A and B are shown apart, each in its own frame.
Chain A
């Protein structure tokens, strides 16, 4: 009996060795004349796909013998991040270039998935045209540059002027407090019962869209914050956190939003931009500056009248406290895989994709706020989209997400708290307490501070 057990172990060990040998061999075998580019493509979001197709053509014409392999990953934001991380775990599947959200640059560089780009940017004359704050969004925790920003964004309330006029609400809509927003939603509910008054992304299925477009747009308009950057501690037990969850509760349990079931559908983002807003079944939407990218010429749901129908209002602070409005900014970058077999060619592709001309084309197509001074000052860019002016103005109120490696996990906990509240399973106080406990579990008690 003992002998057979030992022999099984020996066999197991031998097999493990053999398998390890295989995987190590597989890693070094990737072709250096192919550059693999991984990015997200989901529903109405096709702008990176279009951009990369154009860049691929230009690059292959310029570099003979190098093939650009495009790997569009069709998944919602968080699923995209998961699939990309799984690809990155093995050198055999890792892409050479990838499309990475700024808040994932730090954890992904800590994980060893990304290659530092400093030696390339040092010799890249275009780099001086990038704004400093945009450059810092691509830094890893070691201070090196890992991501080259493609554009940035801000968030605000989009509202349907026709529906507002029909419900007897003033246009332009200029809410001063959260209550003004909820009151307008209640008026719409009373006057236009078939219309969804207000959409605020919420719940686990929406991932980062729920934490950033939803929760943080509320929290950063209260007296409290998520993370104290000076002491580098996460803020727990704050009234602002409970009040923000209270707003979510008012919207979903008060019947002012989509039904919780609609809101928990992974596809709701596509529904909002391609159906609900163009068809006039949603009156207000707390969403990103990029939204019009779906409706402009070349978008997935062209809507020529969009600028006549849709208005924008800055999201007010909770009680109207200074500075009166709030916003959140993020943005995406192009990064290089740490195991890329042909880093020089990969860099050439990134530099081509984000030169002045291509950055401008992408920022216009995807309705991004430019991060290059030569693009934002270009009249063609300024005139391309009538909302660029509004969304660039609210940059003055904007906030950035905590630049730490733990943010991604904590963001997930925020969506858990939102879902518990929007489905009525927990009160805002209970959900906030559960969140506090989860954050302590992630970063440890020492990295947190109490709001009092």
Chain B
């Protein structure tokens, strides 16, 4: 894609920090990333972290919500249903999590995490049409919720049902991110996609943004300001 574009990753981080400040809550802002499977969640998380920390791949799925926070040295723990914590080797679980497991907690010495901590969530909608309570739980403290929808098959009915199953209070902090936008060849097509999404999904989100290639390392990702295109779309 061409033209002067605001880097959307930085924009997302900024939005979360501003929201945090407005709410008057102290500490690092928090962003939760959600979506159906293979919708580009983990790659977006890695782009925000500025490092490939969490595994991404076509056959990989995260089983538990994973929270990444700043720490002076790397560590990994598992939060249990009873509130307790279990320390783990930083490479990960190695085996399926026990029944009472609720969240994974990464502490990582990454500069990016000083401003914003990030929640990566497991694929939504693998069972039924409502979001898993563990995901809802992990989103509660987030200042910004980003729903990832892949450009080629964007905003399906199932996604709409899943998103609407979240409590309204959480949805008020939602942004819809169109991922893998580089797979759309024509700029005109992206415009038309955005027009449709503003009509179909617009009412449920505060903003819609386009993420060009979330597979690229952070910093190289390019995207387009959703607002600008939205203005264009509303002229139609």
Q: Do the two chains belong together in a single complex?
A: no
